[in-house]
Chains A and B, each alone.
Chain A
Amino acid sequence: FFFVSSTGHQDRVWQAAWHPTKTLLATCSGDKTVRLWQPASHDNFSEWHCVETLEGAHKRTIRSVAWSPTGNEIATASFDATTGIWENDPRENDWECVATLEGHENEIKSVSWSSTGALLATCSRDKSVWIWEVEQDNDFECLSVLQEHTQDVKMVTWHPKLEILASASYDDTIKIWKEDDDDWYCADTLQGHTSTVWSLDFNAEGDQIVSASDDQTLRIWKMYKANNPQGVMTPNGDAAWKSICTLSGFHERCIYSVSWSKVNDRIASVSGDNSIRIFEKDMEREDPDAPVYKNLTTTTDAHGVYDINGVAWFPTEKHADWLSTVGDDGLVRIWRLVE
């Protein structure tokens, strides 16, 4: 496990997001900017530079940053209650804020693009989840305002293939949202965590979710479709999600972020206990309805004495062993998992 460290942000860094294909990382911070980072050259990954700073569009902390599936747009979610849409001008390789989405009553905590790029989801301390349709010419239409969480919604993330959305909340639950004839509704509520759910991520297939909580555990949830052979009840014909594994006793403080590699199936989590942990399914004890995960490796004090807020695996085969982390120290770190 080795790392490169990059400085530039002037405040705590909240989240990191990899470009869908390029070796380009976006990070967002309390300093109201998004920064884009790239290695010094195609064969020198030991030095990363800030190649672009997206600034001026938000008056407060940028809490979340997300790439569109093409990598040509970036969405930013801010405590100023707006979502910014940034577009890349390929001629100048310049980024410009081309739209600002308003509507949430207060801080926006997370933003996510659907797999096709046709939909955008945002969530807020106002307890709601909004679904936006991406139209021509940087026009966004709000399709639905979902208000079933009873508290602050911390994160939204789309299914890797389908138009299914998952949200995580301060109310300790995860909700699954689906569309039925233009109507979005809550298809399932996942209960089990005993405190705030901060983060979640689907596996590559989209039939499992990992969630990270202030209760210091990670949970793996599995989707059971109607008439499943295991006999899991599926009310209303919607698939039901069940907790099939709890990883406890590893992190000692709140787990702020989790990333499930779509390439090698490994799970990385980061915490207020200053550590990064990597988990891997134990293949010798394979039971699809009760998997066992082992802690492959742990890096303590990965950002010194500081909380780690975000973690993200590189999304493609090219650098599947790369991991980025961001922390309260304002640093962005790139790690490589060495076997």
Chain B
Amino acid sequence: MAQNLINANPTVYNTKTLIRKETEAELDDDIEDPIDAQEVFDLIRSISDPEHPLTLEQLNVTQFEHIQVDNQSSKILIEFTPTIPHCSMATLIGLCIRVRLLRSLPDRFKVDIRVRKGTHQSEGAVNKQLNDKERVAAALENNHLLEVVNQCLATASLRGTEVAAN
């Protein structure tokens, strides 16, 4: 089985225990908490890798530093880093991130998802496909693909908490 994996032996990173310290304002229900990069990171950090029982955060595929949120103009830019430059799973990983955000964020957000510059040999092609909403819509009508995406997203709701427990 292992020899069929795209990246059979990935580097596993120590996940930072990057947990939001809740301020008094955040605990106060009368004060609105704008959606920020920490919130978006929490939404995607615990998505599972398609081929390893590890999260995107543990594989260093998603990083807090590579998320830009402009709450005012409802724009989000997420850059992710495939584990290897020829990773054929890059599009699937990006699709998982997109679907997670489609399902969790308010509709007003326009989300751009890109491979971090210089980290994938077909970054142009991957980026173009991930940001073509028609192709994303068609992909999500494919039951097999949707099942794979849902599997990767099954752990997404952990929002990094299993890391904190360790």
* B103 sits at the interface (CB 8 A): no
Least Cβ–Cβ distance between B68 and chain A, in angstroms = 16
> When the two chains form their complex, are residues A170 and B107 in contact, meaning their CB atoms are under 8 A apart?
no
Contact call B135/A307, Cβ cutoff below 8 A: no
**B residues bordering A, Cβ < 8 Å?**
74, 107-108, 110, 128, 131-135, 137-138, 141
Cα A308 to Cα B107 in complex, Å, equals 13
Are the CB atoms of B110 and A196 closer together than 8 Å? no
Choose one: B128, B133, B138; the contact of A307 (CB below 8 Å).
B133
- Nearest 9 A-B pairs (CB), nearest first? A305-B108, A107-B138, A60-B141, A79-B138, A305-B107, A79-B141, A61-B141, A253-B110, A61-B137
Q: Is A321 an interface residue (CB 8 A)?
A: no
B135: which of A30, A60, A152 is its contact (CB, 8 Å)? A152
CB-contacts of A56-86 with B (<8 A): 60-61, 63, 79
Complex Cα distance, B136 from A30, in Å, reads: 12
In the bound assembly, the distance between CA atoms of A106 and B138 in angstroms comes to: 10
Known contacts: A272-B110, A305-B74, A306-B107. The answer to whether A196 contacts B132 by CB under 8 A is: yes
Measured between beta carbons, the chain B residues less than 8 angstroms from A107 are 138
Q: Are A195 and B138 in contact (CB under 8 A)?
A: no
- Contact at A61–B74, with CB atoms within 8 Å? no
Select from chain B the residue with minimum beta-carbon distance to A198: B134
**Chain A, 13-30, CB within 8 A of any chain B CB:** 30
C-alpha spacing A328/B111, complex, angstroms: 14
List B contacts of A63 (CB < 8 A). Answer: 134
A261 and B71 CA atoms in complex are apart in Å by 37
CB interface residues, A 101-121, toward B, < 8 Å = 106-107, 109
- Give the chain A neighbours of B135 by CB distance below 8 A: 125, 152
15 A-B pairs besides A12-B137, A125-B138 with CB distance below 8 A are A60-B138, A60-B141, A61-B137, A61-B138, A79-B137, A79-B141, A106-B138, A107-B138, A125-B135, A152-B135, A154-B134, A195-B128, A196-B128, A214-B131, A272-B110
Name the residue of chain A whose CB is nearest to the CB of B125. A151
Measured CA separation A330–B128 after assembly (Å):
25
Question: Which residues on A sit within 8 Å (CB–CB) of B141?
Answer: 60-61, 79
**Residues of chain B contacted by A306 (CB below 8 angstroms):** 107
Q: Which residues of A contact B137 (CB under 8 A)?
A: 12, 30, 61, 79
In residues 290-339 of chain A, which contact B (Cβ within 8 Å)? 305-307, 328
